[in-house]
Amino acid sequence: MIWYIAKLAIFLPLIGLFAWGSLRLAKRFEGRFAGSPGSSRLRIVETRMLSPTLRLAVIAFHDREILVSASKQGLVRLAEAPARPGEDAGQ
């Protein structure tokens, strides 16, 4: 019984650490393996979570920036503006 508790005390945090590390790595490398950065004309400039079911996103497409709202019901275009010159979305 004590051996079981000792294994549980060692392996449970270890598994949690591996899961947390995997999620951090996935978030860090998100979008880096989709292709070369210059090959896509569509990119997400910024996202902001407003509530658990509602998110705002700025999408750059053909020298335009489009503000969309994303929810369980779908996407809604809220606004559109020309892309800001000289900005490369953190790349």
Buried b (16+ CB within 10 A) or exposed e, 7-39: eeeeeeeeeeeeeeeeeeeeeeeeeeeeeeeee
Query: Does the pLDDT of residue 60 top 70, yes or no?
Result: yes
Cα 68 → chain centroid = 15
Q: Which range has the top average pLDDT, 18-22, 27-31, 43-47, 70-74?
A: 18-22
Find tokens 């945090």 and name the residue.
13
pTM for this model (two decimals): 0.52
- pLDDT tens digits, one per residue of 1-29: 898 999 999 999 999 999 999 999 988 88
Contact by Cβ (8 Å): 51, 61 = no
Q: What is the mean pLDDT of residues 47-66?
A: 92
